[in-house]
Structure 1
Amino acid sequence: MKPGRSSPEQTGIWAYLPARPLAGRAGGPLSGLTFSAKDLFGVDGWPLQAGTLAPLPPVEESPLVTRLLELGATLVGKTHLHEIALGITGANRFGGTPNPLDPARVTGGSSSGAAASVALGLCDFALGTDTGGSIRVPAAWCGVVGFKPSKGDPLWPTGGVLPLSQTCDHAGPLARDVEAVMRVQEALSGQQVAVQSWRGLRVGVWNPAGWLDEHAQAALLEAARQAEALGATVSAVTLPDMLDAYSDIVQSEAAAVHASALALDEPGFSAGTLALLRRGAGLTPEVVTAARERRERYGALLAERMNGLDLLLAPAVPTSAPITGQDTVNVAEGSVPLRVAVLRLTVPFSMLGWPVLALPSRTPDGLSVGVQLVGHPGDDARLLGLGRALETRRDSADSAAQPIQTPLP
């Protein structure tokens, strides 16, 4: 892509790369760091295409981008995403973003370019959004860290971001390690984010073994083993598939966001995106209300299962990244549609607004899966501190293998 131009024909990472980056304020706590922004964030003077040819509603300037610039970080460009953020592979009307670990594979979406930009060292951190897994999935598949804050966290506002679902949307960062995420969190909050001890913690482990392949299963069990090695007590937790509520809520809200484009004879969306939006537009108020009621029940169930626990460990993805164009994956229970296989692992925590830190885990073939660390709402700083401690443990040379003491399903 030529500097200073937005080239829709260009596939890859950058949706827009300016002639000169937007420099952050000198002397700020984030001075010296660079970041990218997913092409849903409003940036003054920069185009916003959201990976589509459809006309978009207006988007104001993002207060999060403005705040990061004030804190000293420099914005280098805007990254590609899955079309209007309604998908998990990263495909859009201009192509897609190849996976940095294997260009034949998808990066994951919807924050595809965001994950690739940090994985390739093009910036220090990236702004993404997460409605059903859109930070955590590409983070896991690209081998980087992704953080989805608690819903409504004022440090990570979604104003100035093209919405997909007001109920489920979050803004958050991706980076190569937890330490970088902690530095951004500290700058935004003005408070230190301390590394936390796992000693004495009560940790639940959600292990839907039938939904995982051997690599995703091994990553989860290894994280549980490391939690025990750090002094935590682990126990099994079960959760249901919550996609029935999520899909109706998100697709109906997305259709409302893009109602003007849907009224056109030729809206400009890809066939797959258009079908999802048409479905959402066709849902009756009674169906959407029933979905919201199921969401409330799922929220109560998650709170019940997390009662007495400090943290939950869960798989981030069911397998490593699939080949581009692959629409099913093979897990222990058999062949499953890709969208279902991925989202049923990540949806509960974005639909219900709980904070999640996704940590990558490399597979023997050089690809990546990952685990989710789920904290209680509002406990974001502590979650990051625990994530940093686990990251350090995983990276240390003396992390000797030890059998997990608590049987898991």
Structure 2
Amino acid sequence: MSVVYSPMSLRDARFIVAEHGLDALREIVLARAADNHDNAVIQTNAKALPTAESGPLHGIAFGVKDNIDVAGYMTTGACPGLAENLANANAPAVAALRSAGGYVPVKLNMHELAFGITSNNPAFGAVRNPFDPNRSAGGSSGGSGAAVARGVVPFALGSDTGGSSRIPAAFCSIVGFRPSTGRYREGGALMLSPTRDTIGPMTVNCADLAEIDGIITGEHALPALPERPLRLGVLWDKRGLSQSVDHAIASALGRLALSGEIDLVPISASEFEDIDARIGGPVVFNEAFEFWTAFCVNRLGKTLAEFTSTIASPDVRMIFERLPSFAAETREAFLYAHNGGLASLRDTYEQLLRSQQLDALIMPTVPVQPPLIGEDERMQTDAGLVSTFHTVTSHAVLATLTGAPSISIPAGLDRDGLPVALMIEGSRHGDRALLAIACKVEALLAQ
């Protein structure tokens, strides 16, 4: 019988190392990874050890999504066609964490090639939600979310193109971060879109996230918050998709308002509607087509069509089959995005923060409960059947196009015992200020 474990914070992991030694933590991680009933783990290295003799993460194990390079592991993207894609070097974020004393005993499952948000992977198994195994852990970094929530590792790296670190964090009741685009050094990952892609850490709490971000970037201090209530703009269109989620989110926002330390400012922003269809999709289709065409030839010695035949997931295989036509059909919108459309959107976003004198925006990370396993195309909601991908990503997509930092933090459980989460977004390149705000909101929600 599988055992349900509790999340393990950095403090917990350090206590184990201090009291029982490095081997004790590694044995715990490997034992929990072996009890892989949620299909979170797809590669394990029982011989993994710290390469640095000291550092703030000395002896601390962490997990890495399997589209991110870790030297000595295959970077498979959870795709059978990349089973022999050996990484010879660490991605920059992995290198920074390993230099701080951390090590990687596990690589983690995901929606194949990061092109989806359910992590229903036929090759390695559907990543199951720790709160309900009949439901998705989210994606595309589903394995990272489930592994942290289940206490396999104290933190993990995911990636985020359309919400892929924040969505599984929301569904698994942990903290997920999308840093400002470009904040973390690029390279060492299977890409979809250089415009939208970034590595995104996932942790048990905001303090751990602030520490991990500091190690990756070298920016360790958190700025002091203003000596006044924080002004958070509430960007939330209650569409009645889930009464259970709506009620839980309203309750969480109500607690923040009653604290006296948060001023909630209802806002509307029609200019952000349909941005994924107008800008986001065209950017991904064109940039993914360019990256994967070159990758297949230069790395695999194959054509894109030959590689596509190795993809196990029907939804992902369909996207790759149609990538050439998708890119051609959206080329004009893609050029518009890069010739001023994205810049205009980012200016509009920053102007909203300034004109309303907002410290940040706040909204539900996801407006629905986690989809049931198998609800990859359409999911049942209180408003009827809806598109799974577009519904789940509807709030998370904004930051991927504005380039702003975004954090998902747990906001309790709904009446069905499923996690709900609030997402906080700040000014572009104001990551450490946003982290300080998130720590404050997290503390208020815990009261």
Normalised by the length of structure 1, the TM-score is 0.87
Structure 2 match to 1:306: 353
3-state secondary structure, aligned to 1:110? coil
- Correspondence list, 1:32-47, <5 A: 32-47=59-74
Tell me the equivalent position of 1:203.
232
Q: 2:275 aligns with which of 233, 239, 242?
A: 242
Aligned residues of 1:31 and 1:71 also touching (Cα < 8 A): yes
Structure 2 counterpart SS, 1:27? coil
Residues 257 and 319 (structure 1 numbering): CA distance in 2 closer, same or farther, change over 3 Å?
same
What is the match of residue 370 of structure 2?
A: 321
* Counterpart position of 2:318: 275
Residue aligning to 2:42: 15
The answer as to whether partners of 1:197 and 1:389 remain within 8 angstroms in 2 is: no
Contact 1:90/1:96 (8 A) holds in 2: yes
Q: Quick check: 1:380 aligned with 2:439? A: no
CA distance in 2 between partners of 1:292 and 1:333 (Å) = 36
Note the C-alpha offset of 1:55: 4.3
Q: Which of residues 264, 267, 277 is equivalent to 2:306? A: 264
Match of residue 445, structure 2, among 390, 394, 405: 394
- Per-residue CA shift, 1:59-89, capped at 9, x if unaligned? 6531211110111122221101100000000
Deviation at 1:230, TM superposition (A): 4.2
Taking the aligned partners of 1:185 and 1:299, their CA distance within structure 2 comes to: 23
> Distance in 2 between the 1:49 and 1:249 partners?
24
Aligned ranges 1:133-148 → 2 under 5 Å? 133-148=163-178
Q: Distance in 2 between matches of 1:74 and 1:52?
A: 24
State the SS of the aligned residue for 1:345. Answer: coil
Write the letter of the residue equivalent to 2:387. P
Q: Which residue of 1 aligns with 2:4?
A: none
SS at 1:184's partner residue?
helix
Q: Is 1:367 matched with 2:418?
A: yes
Other-structure match for 2:154: 124
How far does the alpha carbon of each residue in 1:268-297 deviate from its partner, in whole angstroms, 9 at most, with x for none? 113211211233321355722314535524
C-alpha distance in structure 1 between counterparts of 2:324 and 2:435, whole Å: 38
What residue ranges of structure 1 are gaps of 5+ in the alignment? 397-409
Percent identical across equivalent pairs? 28
Shift of 1:220: 3.4
* 2: CA distance, partners of 1:209 / 1:139: 21
Of the candidates 108, 111, 123, which is equivalent to residue 82 of structure 1?
111
Contact 1:132 / 1:343 at 8 angstroms: preserved in 2? yes
Per-residue Cα deviation, 1:336-380 (whole angstroms, up to 9, x for no partner): 111111122111111221100101232222211211000111111
Pair 1:335 & 2:385 matched = yes
Question: Which ranges of structure 2 fall in alignment gaps of 5 or more residues?
Answer: 1-29, 297-302
**Distance of aligned partners of 1:356 and 1:265 in 2 relative to their CA distance in 1, 3 Å threshold:** closer
State the one-letter code of the partner of 1:192.
Answer: A
What RMSD in Å do the two structures reach over aligned CA positions? 2.6
Distance in 2 between residues matched to 1:331 and 1:214, nearest whole Å: 9
> Given the alignment, which residue of 177, 181, 206 partners 2:205?
177
Please say if 1:31 is aligned against 2:58. yes
Preserved CA contact (<8 Å) 1:158 1:169: no
* Number of corresponding residues: 389
Q: What amino acid is aligned across from residue 373 of structure 2 in structure 1?
A: T
AA aligned to 1:173 is P
Could you tell me the TM-score, scaled by structure 2's length?
A: 0.80
